């Protein structure tokens, strides 16, 4: 059976060019970049080049990039690092109810330690309101952390507006750009953010690598101690092959961004029109106009998500009910709860389709048709 993988927001296959880069580097630049001999220096040079590619992709400088083991570590570093470095300036933190768990659980942990956290609500489109944000902001707010694009429904948040509003405020502004990165142009200057997290495996790079952008002079206390790597901001032997491969994935993602946006928009239209033609009762969760291009979250009336997932899987479609990260459980999505309330039907009948490298129009037509067939069988 032809398996169609439409779960690219959970993780994505590594691009063949990226694999080549990875293997090539492991064979050639295997030195420890902290070593002073030639093998080490060569690895250092390659690492510096790669770091520059990462930096340029968001309009930053190379020294602003802290390499991490992935998006979760980057988010944790941003949140714990800011909270501990700036607790003398206040204890208030603002985030939203629809953040990734790497942000939410970090904030909850800080709450237990005595920090005061405001979780901003979202509207039915999954967006934070700038008015709510302004009301929540206090003189003693030290950190605002709001994601750029949501991982479950794709809702894009008003980051630039918040950033502009914070220009004359003491709060450090962090955005989790893990899902948005590579699919929409990002400039840390335009967005006015101080910290921004990115993960490699969402954009066809290797797993286990990511970065945190840190604007110059933004205070951050390190969370991992040891050697002097990453300008003392993150210890541990640099993962040179993965960083180089990540940079390769970034280059590809930047080059193909326009193309992907158009392609995925087309994918969404195909799925939606197929289901309309076949008389499926559904509704798109979130506003298609302000959603990340690769995410389509749909509520299918009169179905149950567990039965739906099992049947779609048997039909050869790898999709998900929300984020993969709530390891192995189908607890109601906190994002859908925030959008629709605790008792809404959408919590029990929504599916996330997410697109990425290798998915073709034919795959999408087949997936849309198969989904319709499964639905017709389930909803009698």
Partner 1 sequence: MKRSTTVYYFDHSATTKPNKEVLDTFVKVNETFYANPASLHEMGVDSNSLLSRARKQVADMLKTEESKVIFTSGGTESNHFAINGLARTLQGRGRHIITSSIEHPSVLESMKQLANKGFEIDILPVNEKGVISIDDVKERLRKDTILVSVMHINNELGSIQPIKQLAEVIHQHSRAIFHVDAVQSFGKYPITFPLIGADVLTLSGHKFNGLKGTGIVAWTGHVSFEPIIVGGGQEFGLRSGTVPVPQAVAFAKAMRIAFENQEAMQTKYIQWNEKLRNFIRNFKDIRILSPEDGAAHILTVSVRNIKGEVLVNALQARGIIVSTSSACSSKQTKISHVIKAIGLPDGYTKGVIRISLGTSNSDEQIDYFIENFTAIIKQVKGD
Catalytic residues: 325
- Residue nearer to partner 1 on the CB measure, 246 or 275: 246
Q: What is the arrangement of strands in the sheet containing 65-68, beginning at the earlier edge strand?
A: 65-68, 210-214, 195-199, 172-176, 141-145, 92-96, 116-120
Q: Among candidates 230, 201, 243, 244, which has minimal Cα distance to 81? A: 230
Interface map 162-201 toward partner 1 (x if CB under 8 A) = -------------------------------------x-x
Tokens of 170: 């003491």
Closest distance between partner 1 and the C-beta of residue 39, in Å? 5
Site for partner 1 in 303-342 (CB under 8 A): 309, 312-313, 317-321, 323-328, 330
Q: Kindly state the number of chain residues that form the binding site for partner 1, as judged by CB under 8 A.
A: 74
Report the 3 state secondary structure along 32-101.
Answer: CCCCCCHHHHHHHHHHHHHHHHHHHCCCCCHHHEEEECCHHHHHHHHHHHHHHHCHHHCCEEEEECCCCH
Residue 109 interacts with partner 1 (CB under 8 A)? Answer: yes
Closest distance between partner 1 and the C-beta of residue 127, in Å? 23
Beta strand 210-214 pairing with 282-284: unpaired
Closest distance between partner 1 and the C-beta of residue 111, in Å? 12
DSSP label at residue 320: B
Tokens of 315: 């039909």
Residue 75 interacts with partner 1 (CB under 8 A)? Answer: yes
Closest distance between partner 1 and the C-beta of residue 40, in Å? 7
Site for partner 1 in 198-257 (CB under 8 A): 199, 201, 206-209, 223-229, 235-242
Using CB under 8 A, which of 65, 66, 72, 83 touches partner 1? 72
- Residue nearer to partner 1 on the CB measure, 149 or 205: 205
Closest distance between partner 1 and the C-beta of residue 223, in Å? 7
Tell me the C-alpha to C-alpha distance, in Å, between residue 307 and each of 92, 220, 273: 42, 46, 24
Reduce the DSSP state of residue 114 to 3 states and report it: coil
Site for partner 1 in 2-21 (CB under 8 A): 3, 5, 7, 10-14, 19
Quickly count: other Cβ atoms within 10 Å of residue 176's Cβ.
31
- Residue nearer to partner 1 on the CB measure, 228 or 343: 228
Q: Look at the chain and count its residues.
A: 380
Residue 131 interacts with partner 1 (CB under 8 A)? Answer: no
Tokens of 193: 């953010």
Residue 378 interacts with partner 1 (CB under 8 A)? Answer: no
Reduce the DSSP state of residue 230 to 3 states and report it: helix
- Residue nearer to partner 1 on the CB measure, 38 or 217: 38
Closest distance between partner 1 and the C-beta of residue 32, in Å? 4
DSSP label at residue 243: H
Interface map 24-43 toward partner 1 (x if CB under 8 A) = --xx--xxx-xxxxxxx---
């Amino acid at each position: 059976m032809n398996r169609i993988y439409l779960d690219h927001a959970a993780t994505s296959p590594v691009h063949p060019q990226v694999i080549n880069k990875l293997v090539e580097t492991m064979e050639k630049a295997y030195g420890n970049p902290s070593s002073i001999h030639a093998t080490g220096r060569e690895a250092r040079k390659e690492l510096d080049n790669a770091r520059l590619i990462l930096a340029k992709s968001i309009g930053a400088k190379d020294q602003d990039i802290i390499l991490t083991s992935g998006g979760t570590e980057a988010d944790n570093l941003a949140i714990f690092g800011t909270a501990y470095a700036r607790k003398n300036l206040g204890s208030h933190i603002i985030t939203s109810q629809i953040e990734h768990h790497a942000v939410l659980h970090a904030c909850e942990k800080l709450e237990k330690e005595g920090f005061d956290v405001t979780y901003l609500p979202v509207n039915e489109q999954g967006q934070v309101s700038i008015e709510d944000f302004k009301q929540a902001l206090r003189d003693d707010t030290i950190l605002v952390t709001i994601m750029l694009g949501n991982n479950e429904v794709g809702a894009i948040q008003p980051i630039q507006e918040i950033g502009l509003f914070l220009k004359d405020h003491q709060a450090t502004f962090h955005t989790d750009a893990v899902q948005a990165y590579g699919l929409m142009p990002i400039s840390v200057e335009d967005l006015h953010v101080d910290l921004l997290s990115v993960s490699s495996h969402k954009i066809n790079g290797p797993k286990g690598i990511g970065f945190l952008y840190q604007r110059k002079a933004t205070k951050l206390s390190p969370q991992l101690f040891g050697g002097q790597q990453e300008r003392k901001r993150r210890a541990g032997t640099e993962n040179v092959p993965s960083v180089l491969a990540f940079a390769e994935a970034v280059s590809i993602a930047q080059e193909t961004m326009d193309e992907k946006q158009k392609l995925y928009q087309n994918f969404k239209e195909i799925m939606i029109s197929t289901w309309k033609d076949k008389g499926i009762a559904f509704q798109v969760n979130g506003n298609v106009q302000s959603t990340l291009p690769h995410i389509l979250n749909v509520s299918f009336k009169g179905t149950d998500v567990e039965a739906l997932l099992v049947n779609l899987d048997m039909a050869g479609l790898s999709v998900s009910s929300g984020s993969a990260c709530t390891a192995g459980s189908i607890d109601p999505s906190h994002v859908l709860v925030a959008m629709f309330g605790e008792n809404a039907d959408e919590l029990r009948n929504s599916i996330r389709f997410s697109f990425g490298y290798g998915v073709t129009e034919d795959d999408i037509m087949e997936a849309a048709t198969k989904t319709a067939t499964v639905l017709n069988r389930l909803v009698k």
